[in-house]
Structures are given as C-alpha cells and as structure tokens.
Amino acid sequence: MMDILVFLIFLGATFAAGATGAMFPPGHWYERLEKPPWTPPNWMFPVAWTSLYLLMSFAGARVAGVDGSGFAMAFWAAQIALNTLWTPVFFGLRRLKQAVPIMALLWVAVAGCMVTHWQIDTLAGLAFVPYLAWVTVAGALNISVAARNPNVEPVALQDQP
Amino acid sequence: MMDILVFLIFLGATFAAGATGAMFPPGHWYERLEKPPWTPPNWMFPVAWTSLYLLMSFAGARVAGVDGSGFAMAFWAAQIALNTLWTPVFFGLRRLKQAVPIMALLWVAVAGCMVTHWQIDTLAGLAFVPYLAWVTVAGALNISVAARNPNVEPVALQDQP
C-alpha cells in the first residue's frame, strides 16, 4: 500500500523543512534565553524532528493516491510549509511572538493531518500522534520563551550592511 | 471535481510560503545588488507569486483525492516546502549561492508537479506551466545575481548580539 518512491519525495519535502535547522541554528543566542524548567534538552530536538519527518513521510505515502485523500494531502502540504516557515522566523528573525501564530497554525494542520489520515489508514493516523504531541510541547515552549524574554531584539535585516 | 475547502487548505499552505516575502523583504540591500538587464521589475514579483499560488492551489484541489494521485501530491508538498525555504536563505541569510540548489530542486519539484498533475487532469497540468516558466526565470536570475555579486557577505546570525 506504500510506494517507496512517493515516500522518498515526501521525505525530500521534509528535508527542505529540516534544512532550516542547520541553516538557522539556535547557537549562543538561544542558549542565553530564559527558558522554562521543562525545556527539552538540546539533543532531543534533532532526534525528535528526524523521527517525526520519517513518520510523516510514511503516513503521507500510505495515504497519497488513495481515493478521497484530498483533505489529508492538503493538510500534509500545509503542515510542511508552516514547519519550514517557523525556524527562519524564530531563529533567523528572532521574532519570538510572531512565531507563535505560525506554531498555532502548524498545530491545527497537524491535527487535521492526524484526523484525515486516520480516516483512511489507521497506521497513518497513528504516525501523526507523536508529531501532534511534540508540536504541543514546542508551541508551549515558544509561548513561554516569548513571555520570559520580552526584550529580545528581532534581527533587523534592513540594518545589515 | 474541485473541493473548495481542499482548495482553501492548499491556499493556506501557499500563504505560509508567501509570508516569507513579507517577513524577509528585499529592501535596499537587494536594490544595490548587480542584476542582469533582463531582471523583471520589482512590482512583477508579488503579482506573479500571487497568481502562481492561486494556480497551484487550484491544481492541487483538482487532483487531490483522486485515485493514483500519490506522486502528484508528494511533488506538491515538496515544491511548497522548497518554495518556503528559498526566501529566508536568499533574503534572510543572503546566501546567494546556497539558494541556487534550493531553486534547482524547486524546479525539479515543479516539473514533477506539472507532469504528474497533467496525467490526471489536463487543466491541473496546464496550471503548472506558468509556475515552471517563472521558476526557470527566477533560477536564472538567482544564478546571475550570485555570479555578479561574489563579495556579498552572508548575514552571520552568530554575530548578532
């Protein structure tokens, strides 16, 4: 039921999202931010994202091309675009508050993925459960960090020489 | 044959990609870059992208959920993720050369979209023709600008206070 080539193209889409983590790295700036005590350790982020990228590509490949998968595929596209957008806004522009609605929309898109994939294929729906859990934690972390660091200056691109 | 709600979710995905244009604006830095004489005027970029976002959402909604649309949907997801990635790398990090392979992968994903959508629905395939033409121009422009401005300094996020 899963086409390996379709899986690999979905994985390519997640690679574009994942590349933001390497191109907009947290670095010293993130280290110095005030963070809540339940902040996951740094090593957990790439491990979680790699696992989630594999799971979402697996789910997409299970469901893509199945009759009636229109909503599932539209939500899948929306979540990967929002996922790609969040990192440059948070770590590139350091717009902590502007990143919150992006994360909120991502949460909605992932919830939409979970429900619509589940309707077609139980395994595909289950594959989105850890993603939704992680985005819930990441969203709470984004909100908490934005609240604890009200004086963070966004990167002003227009002031760059 | 086209579900308006599916169309709107795809359009939401393109909104995430389009938001990069507002959040990472070209500004004075881009004005001062050496550009080839055939560079499209500034006003054309938002007009082109808005039209293309509507067309690609239309195409996606025509094809999504149709039996056998797996490759079309995987390519659709890949193109919107790459589309979202390109702007922050070029205008945010000012990594003109690193943006070229992203644009090349985007070109491949859009070509993949055109072929696979066309196989299912002629109108959907046709809707990708202007997108492929525009990405061809944008890719040539990226290559030309990178070659004409070899001394552009990337934005060093780690040096930001």
Average pLDDT on B57-69 reads 96
Show residues of chain A in contact with B65, CB under 8 Å.
67-71, 73
Inter-chain residue contact A78 with B12, CB threshold 8 Å: yes
Q: How far is residue A118's CA from residue A68's CA, in Å, rounded to a whole number? A: 12
pLDDT of residue A84: 98
Q: Which DSSP helix (H) or strand (E) runs through A11?
A: helix A4-23
Is residue B2 predicted with pLDDT exceeding 70? no
- The beta-carbon neighbor of B93 closest among A6, A23, A68 is A23
Average pLDDT, rounded, for chain B = 95
Alpha helices in B4-156 (DSSP H): 4-23, 27-32, 44-63, 70-87, 96-120, 122-127, 129-148
Residues of chain A with confidence (pLDDT) below 70? 1-2, 161
Show residues of chain B in contact with A109, CB under 8 Å.
12
Q: How far is residue A106's CA from residue A128's CA, in Å, rounded to a whole number? A: 13
pLDDT of residue B156: 81
Q: What percent of chain A has pLDDT over 70?
A: 98
- Nearest-Cα residue of chain B relative to residue A160: B155
pLDDT band at residue B27 using 50, 70 and 90 as cut-offs: confident
* CA of B83 vs chain A CAs: smallest distance (Å): 8
pLDDT of residue B1: 52
- Interface residue of B3, B9, B107, B152 to substitute, partner A, most A CBs within 10 Å: B9
pLDDT of residue A1: 52
* Domain range list for chain A: 4-148
What's at B3, amino acid-wise?
A: D
Q: What percent of chain B has pLDDT over 90?
A: 91
Inter-chain residue contact B81 with A85, CB threshold 8 Å: no
Q: What's the pLDDT tens digit per position in B98-141?
A: 999 999 999 999 999 999 999 999 999 999 999 999 999 999 99
- The beta-carbon neighbor of B6 closest among A74, A82, A91 is A74
Inter-chain residue contact B65 with A70, CB threshold 8 Å: yes
CATH superfamily ID and name for B4-148: TspO/MBR protein (1.20.1260.100)
pLDDT of residue A136: 98
- Interface residue of A32, A85, A90 to substitute, partner B, most B CBs within 10 Å: A85
* CA A154 centroid distance within chain: 21
pLDDT of residue A156: 81
Instruction: Report the complex ipTM.
Output: 0.95
Chain A and chain B share a number of CB contacts under 8 A equal to 187
